[in-house]
Amino acid sequence: MRGWLPWLKAAVWLGGLAPLAWLGWRVADADLGPNPVQTLEYFTGRWALRLLLVTLAMTPLRLAVGRPQPIQLRRLLGLWAYAYMCVHFSIYLTFDLEFSPAKLADDLVKRAFITAGFTCWLLLLPLAITSTQGWQRRLKRRWRVLHRLIYFAAGAAVLHYGWGVKKDRSWPLLYATVLAALLLLRLPWKRWSRAILRAQTIT
Ligand code: HEM
């Protein structure tokens, strides 16, 4: 199973690059529909969210399979998710705002869904910077505490999606349900049930 890791990493690289290549193809083909900017934002935003959820799925998966490989893939997946977020944010800054800091400030104040998306992006920035082993060693226990920001960032991302859509909220609701399930799976249920059993046998 250990020998699988390079293959799994190659699959993650492929999984991260393939949607971008697909998008590049559509851009080159001028096949982005009647609202190209929106198409670009939707595409990159959805992939950012999907990859963020896949990153969060790695810990429950490790518990399910009892192997370390999912954890060894987590950093790469998280960085891919962040790369999509940066592309998504850049498209908005370039085409919606034309690089205007004043327009950004205005949107952050007036549009709650932009505030939520930006919060997610900002919360994940220190995680992306400190994702290396060097930072992990330097920060020790604080690294783990810092990296818990991912839960809040994921919540903000789902809110951004839910508040951003105008009509049918079924997709954001589905993503919110998946996120809730992933967070519930991370809770130390076994430790708690053992503690309850111990307390019951004492009393
Ligand atoms: C950095 C700050 C961000 C800004 C300024 C931003 C901006 C936008 C904009 C303008 C749209 C299109 C809304 C529309 O035309 O209806 C959008 C959609 C979306 N964004 Fe973001 N976003 C940000 C961060 C994020 C992050 C961090 C994620 C995910 C982790 C994300 C995921 C999405 C999704 C899923 C959609 C909707 C796609 C759909 O409706 O199918 N965004 N965002």
* Per-residue confidence in pLDDT tens, the chain, 203 aa: 568 999 999 999 999 999 999 999 999 999 999 999 999 999 999 999 999 999 999 999 998 899 999 999 999 999 999 999 999 999 999 999 999 999 999 999 999 999 999 999 999 999 999 999 999 999 999 999 999 999 999 999 999 999 999 889 999 999 999 999 999 998 877 788 888 888 888 76
Nearest CA to ligand 1 atom 11: 41
CB 52 near ligand 1, within 6 Å: yes
CB 161 near ligand 1, within 6 Å: yes
Q: How far from each other are the two terminal CA atoms of the chain, in whole angstroms?
A: 45
- The CA distance from 19 to 24, in Å, is 9
Cα(45) to centroid of ligand 1, in Å?
5
- The CA distance from 76 to 51, in Å, is 10
Nearest CA to ligand 1 atom 2: 118
